[in-house]
Structure formats: structure tokens, C-alpha cells
Structure 1
Amino acid sequence: MASQNPPPAGPPYAPPPYPPSQGPQQPRWAWWVVGIVIPVVGLLVTVLVSRPGSSDDKGAESAPTSTPARSSAPAESNGQEQPAPAPAKSAEAKKALYGPVVVDADMTNTGSYIDLDGSGPIVSGATNNGADIIFGASLGLFVPDSASNLAPLPDSGAAPTADECAAAVQETGSYTADPKPGGRFCLMTGKGRVAYLKVVTAPSTGTGKLDVTVWDTPGA
């Protein structure tokens, strides 16, 4: 009886070896993908670098810019210098109620009585209880009731302001003075007004002249 043994098995199957100079071949679609991706990446890099707000632009924007210095030269218009603005008036400056106005007085004997508390000077040849100053040859400049309301000023210089006159009366006030031509005086009236008197002429007889300015003060 013959034996039913199977034939001996051969060696296991192995794929043919690849040539030593090359590995497994890449599929063609992989090369298409690489060819597309590289240009796209390059385009994106270019756009990112050149867009506004990139790091280079931010660096340029953050750099401080120099401010041109202002010129101290006066502004010109049509080739002509503009006039400088007028200085603001001092709060102490007061507008005169009236004057300067020339007041005539009869210098003979006791002279004339002058009232400065009205809307203008009032000159009287007789005794006047409302007079603020007497101007005559025998009395000179005299304040009725001997009130210390008359103050001398230097013979030269600018005309005083109301405040300067008031201060002079407070500091050096007297009731009488010698009225020489060119003499200057400050006077406080019976109603608190301030007056500036400048002697124009002061003859021993005839007409004497005073240049008078009166300010209306808040206390008047």
C-alpha cells in the first residue's frame, strides 16, 4: 500500500530585491502636491511681509518724529509786521469823571472857592461851604476846615493816576501849599473824589489858572 505523505514544502516566497541604487518609487500625485504647495507658501510669506502693520512698519511708526521749532519772529501778513496786541489795562486804572479842564480863579485877596464834587468844577467868589479848595494870593492853595486833603507832587514827571493821587494824600496830606506855576498837587474832595491840580498861572492879582482832573471813586 503506497504512502500518502505530502511532498516537502519549498522555501517561503520573497519579493524580488530592489536595485541598491533606488528605493521604493513615490506616487506621481505627491509631486503634484509639492509643486503646488511651494509657490503658495512663497506667496503667503510675501503678502505677510508687505502688508500694513508688519513688524517693519510698526518699527517705523513707533519712531518719534521731530517737531519743527516755532519761530519767535512776529507773524507777517502781506509782507507787513502785525501790530503787537495792546496791553490789558490795569484793574487800578480809572476813567476820569472830567478833565483835564482849566479853572479860572480870582486871585485878589482871599481868592476863589472851588467845588469839585459836581459834574464839573464850580467857582465862587464868596464863602462856599461845599468848596473843596480855595485858590488865592493871600491863602495860596487852602483846604477849608484845614482838612489834610492836599498833597504836593514833584514838579516834573508823568501825570498821576487816581490811585497814585489817593496814596499821596494818605502819605503826605496837608491843608495848605504855595501855588507856584508848574506846581502839581493831589486833592481828596469832600465826597471822596480824587483830583489832580496843576498850577498854570498864580498872579498876585487878577486871574489864576488851575488845570484840573477829577476821578469818581467808589466811595464818592
Structure 2
Amino acid sequence: MQGWDGGGEDLPARREAREEKDRLKAEFGARLKVLLDLTGLSSREFAARYPAYKDSTVRKYTLGTNLPPWDFLHDLLTEVARRTDDPAAPQRRTELFTAYRTVLVTIGADVRGSDQNSLLLRLLDGEETLHRLREELAEVRARENQLLADLEEARRQTASPAARERQRQLEEETRTLAHRRSELVRHRGALVADLDDCRARLAVLEEADGPGDLVPTGTRAGAGPHQPYVPPLPPAPPASPEPSKSRGRRALRLIGIAAAVVLLAGGGAAVGIWATGDRDTGDQAASPQPTTPSASATPSPTTPAPTTAEASSAAPSSAKPNATRWTGHGVALTYLDLDTVPVRVLSSNNDASVWASYSSTDDEVTLYGMNGGFFTTEPTIATWDAPAKPDRQGCADRISTTATETLPVTPGARFCVTTAEGRTAYIEVEKMDKALAAYTATITVWEEGTGASS
């Protein structure tokens, strides 16, 4: 006689469904194991390099016991790209994220649920939406910058009726874009808060080591008890007939974004994090991204700056070129967002302006610039070797002439850095802090960003 559970489903069918889910997870874990082998790192060495993960957690991912979060896939592929020269890397990335989403949906994950796998799916889809938001924000800011230049030119022209009408049209478009930017920033803030919440609850579930594919009661037919409100993305304003004349790095990044969207059309997640301007720095997420505590001796990326750090308060109310936005001492040199006030320590190199990679023995520490597109690192850091400390222009000039992708970190080393939002920063390495297992540094960030006038 067959046994029945309370829901009327027979036990053999449940057992068969469970075995199918385990098979799918094991197959995906085997795919991750191949990628980990390509990095040349063991699970322990990978956890030492990326302290957001434990050695035991990495092994669970590669065995298919648990499915990993979006961040792990990104970090694993970044490490593979650093150690191998694979021209098909973008395609492999798309295939991996497509397979990842397929497995999550097949084993019953639902973005409305609050079980472990549903949180993973929500994190994946949320990161893709966040990528699109950043993409549009970059376009809006580029157009705003061009409008400012056009307005300045229009005001210098003779006060003819045609010139006044032209100025009125530019001012109206400027107001429309400012409103659009505010809506995008508001939506991004709510989405970032939801993603942080997803990561926090995933960390708790991984620590509890419970099954990740059981949907709690009340989440099958609608939004789960933890489902936050994320405001809908407002429609874009009508396209302006004025062509954008943005040049240089901003234009290259927008081209890279378009390439990413094309390559990910098959259903993959967002690829790479793109820099933005400086018009919304006041609404950056203030709390560090939660993560599973690390068992390695490498610094935890969620460790805040030491309480003994001396830091200035918030940025000036009106941004002035070359003004000091923030300065602080004793900041742990790990994954740093240099555009927040105060500087924020992140859980991974996603969105980091600069980040340091520590070896297991701390005898090799490497400083990296911003993530570029498709596993690349942008040349956004430079060594400062002049006797006196630099000002903003001195650092900016050094970056424009000698910027590179990576540099070695030693006590007393000094660096000039371009932040994710186009500001300029100066980092002076202090010493290795044994309690943090990381170098500490004095950091100065100047106010001017991509949206400021030169």
C-alpha cells in the first residue's frame, strides 16, 4: 500500500522528484568543479582569496549539495578568466548563468518564495534588473552632461527669439531628465536593499545547513512573508532629438553595456558592473552587504572600518571641484566602495572602486582597479611616488598617464585611484593589521566626479 502525505502526494512520486532535483544540482555542481579546477585553486585557496565563502561552503557548491549565490558564480568566472585565455569566455558565462537559472526554476524556486533556492533566484533576477538600471542611469547622466554644455552655449548667444526658445527647450529637457534620474535612483535604492536582505537571509540559511528546496507554508500561492516592496520602474521620457556628444571613457562603457546586453539575450544574468556619475551619492546603500562569515585568515569584506578610524563627516552640501569629499584612517584595504560617505566595505569586488587580493600567507597582496566588461579589470589605479602628497589634479594627471590594472601592495605604498563614479581618490597604505588580517590605509576622496565641471 502506498503512503500518502497530508497534501495527497504519494511517497514514491515525492522520492522520484527529490532524486531528480538532486541529480540536477549534482550536474551543476560538477560544472562548477570543472571551473574551479581551471582556476588552479583548491576550495580552501579559493575561500582564502574570496573571504565571503568558507572552504566547506565552496565544497558544497561543487558537490551539488547546495546551489551557490549569483556572487559566487561571478567571482569564480572572474578567477577563471584571470588564469586562462579563453576567447569563448563571454559565451561560457552566458551558458553558465542560463543553466543556473534553469536548474533553480526546475527544482521549484519562485521569486515570491522565501526558501533558499527562491532567494537565489530573486538575487539572480534582481542583479539583472540592477544592471539595466545602472545602464540607463549612465545614459541619463551622459545626456545631462551634454545638456549642461549646450545650455551654457545657448546662454552666451544673442537674445534672439530663436535662442530663447532653444534655451527653454534645453531647460525643459533638463528638468525631465532630472526627474527620470530621481525615479531610477529611488528604484535602485529599493532594489539594492532587497538584494542585501536576500544575501543576509541566504547567509543565515547556509549557516543553519538546512535543505534549500523546501518552500515554506504560505509562499506557494503568493508573495512570501518577507517579500519587500520594490517600486516599479517608471517609463522613460521621450528620446531627445539632440545627439549625445559624450566622449572618452563614458562612451566606451556605454558601448560595452550594449555588447553585454546582446551577449546575455539568451537569458543569462547581468555581466559586469558599470560606473555611474556623481548625481545621487547621497542615496547609496549605507550598510555593508551581509555575507557568510569566513573561516579563513583573510579579512572579512564586511568588516567595517576600525572604530579608531578618524574620518570626516558627510560631503559638502554643494559639490565644489577639488573639495575633499571624505578622508579616513585605519580603513581595511579589502573591497572598497569609494563613492559612499563614509567609504563602504563590500562583500565582493562587484561595484568596488578598488579591491585588494590577499594570498594565504599575506606575502603577495595585489591591488586591482574597477571591474570592466567580461572578466577584465580597468586601468584605473596608478602609483604615486612623488615626495609630497598629491592634490586631486596631481592624482588625476598621474592616472591619465600611467594607469594600470593591478599593482603590488606593500607597507607605505601610495596609489591614485579613479572611483566607480569618476571621482579621484588617494590611498596610502599603513600597515598589516593582524586582527583584521589586512592592510589598513589612509584614504582621501575628492568631490569632483564625472558629472562635475572641470
Give TM-score, length-normalised by structure 2: 0.25
Larger % of strand: which? 1
Larger % of helix: which? 2
Give TM-score, length-normalised by structure 1: 0.50
Which has more radius of gyration? 1
